[in-house]
Amino acid sequence: MTSTAASPVTRREPELTGQTVVLIGGSAGIGLETARRARSEGAEVVLAGRDPGRLARAAAEVGASRSAAFDATDSAALARFFEDLPGPIDHVLVTAGGPRYGPLLEMSADDVREALSDHVVLALEVARNAVGRMRPGGTLVFMGGTGGRRIGHGLGIASAATAALPPFTAALALELAPVRVNLIAPGFVDTPLSASLLGDRLDERRAELRATLPIGRVVGPEDVAALAVHLMTNTAVTGATYDIDGGQQFVS
């Protein structure tokens, strides 16, 4: 006789319950989408961003426990932000900043220094200020990219800046253990930043990627957010670089 009794439904427990996630660059794009996902996994979220109005809207949407508007490249403001946090934190995602493109010979010496050091210095300052407030096993998640790995006209300094981040991440992971440090390296992600960089070429680029990427669609901020939360919850991962570009680097 075949039983017709329904099988019990196993409910998955949220993976970030009781944890606090700080998102620097959390008012839009990948940062905001990660805040949404972290909240759905039970986390308290703290948002930081440069634009006060946009930040306030994002904080209200996700129910952030705290938010702060400041320029993350201002070392003093960054230090004050972490000093003012009321309790320990578990995870920090840094999406502030963006790539720099353009012919090398048109860049000044100061432009080159800034482009090469921008992400590394910001990541180091975040690590320096965050680590003393983080619980063991938490993670710092930084953002790099795959788009600059191939040398090409118009990429300029982006290739060198991209190449510096994986070894920096690995070295920092050794220094900060048991706090974990990982790097996400996206290709094109359909965010407001991408829209601002491409302007009226955005739809053309989307169509091109849908036609050529092995996954048959454009990578969105929710894809990167899912990876970011995975890195927060998988305590076996540190010092790693994770590409997420839908196979773009293999077909571009």
Centroid of chain to Cα 40? 18
pLDDT tens digits for 186-224? 999 988 878 777 788 898 999 999 999 999 999 999 999
* Mean pLDDT score, 22-43: 97
* Mean pLDDT score, 5-27: 85
More confident residue, 179 or 108: 179
pLDDT tens digits for 159-171? 777 888 999 999 9
* Mean pLDDT score, 169-194: 93
Question: Tell me, what's the pLDDT at 191?
Answer: 85
Asked if 166 and 183 touch (Cβ cutoff 8 Å), the reply is: yes
Whether a cis peptide bond, with omega within 30° of 0, leads into 192 is no
More confident residue, 234 or 153: 234
- C-alpha span between 240 and 182 (Å, rounded): 5
- C-alpha span between 44 and 90 (Å, rounded): 10
Confidence grade of residue 230 (pLDDT, cut at 50, 70, 90): very high
Question: Tell me, what's the pLDDT at 169?
Answer: 96
pLDDT tens digits for 101-158? 667 777 788 877 777 778 889 999 999 999 999 999 999 999 998 866 676 666 667 7
- C-alpha span between 156 and 194 (Å, rounded): 18
- C-alpha span between 79 and 72 (Å, rounded): 9
129's enclosing H/E stretch is helix 109-130
Return the exposure string of 15-28: e unless at least 16 CB atoms fall within 10 Å of the residue's CB, then b.
bbeebbbbbbbbbb
pLDDT higher than threshold 60 for residue 2:
no
Closest by alpha carbon to 165, among 243, 218, 109? Answer: 243
Question: Tell me, what's the pLDDT at 6?
Answer: 60
Question: Tell me, what's the pLDDT at 18?
Answer: 95
One-letter amino acid at 205 equals R
